[in-house]
Amino acid sequence: MTERKRIIVGVAGGIAAYKAATVVRQLTEAGHSVRVVPTESALRFIGAATFEALSGNPVRAGVFEDVHEVPHVRIGQSADLVVVAPATADLLARAVAGRADDLLTATLLTARCPVLFAPAMHTEMWLHPATVDNVATLRRRGSIVMEPASGRLTGADTGAGRLPEAEEISTLAHLLLDRGDALPYDLAGVKVLVTAGGTREPIDPVRFIGNRSSGKQGFAMARVMAQRGAEVTLIAGNTAGLIDPAGVDVVHVGSAAQLRDAVSKHAPDVNVLVMAAAVADFRPAHLATNKIKKGPDAAGDPTIELVRNDDVLAGAVRARTDGQLPNMKAIVGFAAETGDANGDVLFHARAKLKRKGCDLLVVNAVGDNRAFEVDHNDGWLLSADGTEAAMEHGSKTLIASRIVDAIAAFLRTSDG
C-alpha cells in the first residue's frame, strides 16, 4: 500500500488550470492527502468547489483566511511535496524573486520538501530570456522544473510550452516521493538515444510475430533523462496507449529493421545509447503479399521460415569500436532473462554482457507477471568492470531513475 503523503498542488492562472483537476484526482486516488492552493487568477479559470470536491480539503488563495492557523507558514512546513501545475511565466518569476504576496508563493518560501513546477505558457514566453533565466535559477536552487510538452496552445498557436499531460505530472510527483530527494538536473548538454517497446515482424498484411514488451520501461528512461536535462530522442516500437514523454523527440517504428535503421541514423550524434526495446530475434524469411488463408481450399498447414535479425545492440558496440561513433560515451543494454538447466538469470546475464560488449546491462527476470506488461519492475544492473547491483522492486519510473543515476555516474567517471 502506498504510504500516505501530504501533497500541495499549486495552481497558477493560465488556461491549462483546468488540467490541474486531473492531477489532483490522480494524486488523491493514489492515497495521498492533497490540498490545492490556487492563485486568485486561477480561480477565474476553474472554481474552488471543483478542487474541494476532488481533494476533500478546503481551498484558499489568500493569506487572510483562517489566520489563526497561520496557513502561509504551516502549509509549506508540513508538505512532503509541492506540485505547481500549471506554473505560468508570472508564477515562475514570482517564485524566483521570493515574493510572498499570496498563499501559493508564501507556501513555496516555507516548503522544505521537493518542489515540482510544470510550466505552461506560449512558446515565446517559454523561450524568452527572462523565463530561461528564471527556470535556470529555480533548478540551481534545487527545484524541479519539467520540460513542457509541444503541441496545441491557446487559439491556433502550436509549439513548446504546452502543459505536460496529467499522467506525466503525477508520475514524476510519485518518483520524487519514492526517491525521497530532488531529481538532479545533471544531464544538460548530454544527447541520448533511447529505444523502447517491442518490434513487430510482418507475416502477411494481417499477422505479425511480436513480443509482450509494452515499452513502459523505455518510456520511463526517456522521461527521466529528459527531466534531468538530457536532449532525448526516443525510438518507439509497439507502445500502444503510452503518452509520448514531454520534451522528447519521438520516432515511431514497426519492425526490427526499421528500428535498426533509426538507430544507425541517430547514433552518430548522441553520447548515450539506451537499448531498452525488445527487438525481435527473428523475422519471416518471406512476407506474404496476401492474407494467408485457412479455409477449405488452403493447401495444408502453412510453414513460416525464419531468418535472424541484426543484433542492433552488438552492432552499435562494434560501430563504436571501429570509430564510427566518436561521440558515444555509454551504451546500455537490456536483457529479459529466465533461468534454465545451464544456469540462473544472472549466469545468462553475465554471459550476455560479455558477448554484447556494452558498458552497462540492465537485467530483468521475466515470467509470472514480471517485467512485461506491468507497471513495476526489479532486477540487476551489471557493469563491464564487473560490478553488480540489485535493483529493488519499484515503479518502472523509480527503476529508470536508479539506472539513470548509474549512467550519470559512469559519464562523470569517463569524463575524468
Query: How far does Cα 382 stand from its chain's mean position?
Result: 22
Is 356 annotated to bind a ligand? Reply is yes
Cα Rg of the chain (Å, integer) = 24
Is 216 annotated to bind a ligand? Reply is no
CA distances from 317 to 191, 272, 331 (A): 17, 12, 7
Q: What secondary structure letter does DSSP report for 64?
A: T
In the three-class reduction of DSSP (H, G, I as helix; E, B as strand; rest coil), residue 268 is classed as helix
Peptide bond into 284 cis (omega under 30): no
Is 19 annotated to bind a ligand? Reply is no
211 is catalytic: yes
- What is the C-alpha separation between 246 and 214, in angstroms, rounded? 19
CA trace torsion 293, 299, 302, 305 (10° rounding) = -120
Q: What secondary structure letter does DSSP report for 56?
A: S
- Spot the catalytic one: 211, 271, 309, 377: 211
Nearest to 13 by CA among 37, 40, 32, 35: 40
Query: How far does Cα 326 stand from its chain's mean position?
Result: 27
Is 396 annotated to bind a ligand? Reply is no
Is 5 annotated to bind a ligand? Reply is no
Nearest to 225 by CA among 280, 169, 186, 253: 186
Question: Residue ranges for the binding site for CTP?
Answer: 281, 291, 334, 352, 356
The catalytic site residues sit at: 211
Binding site listing: 281, 291, 334, 352, 356
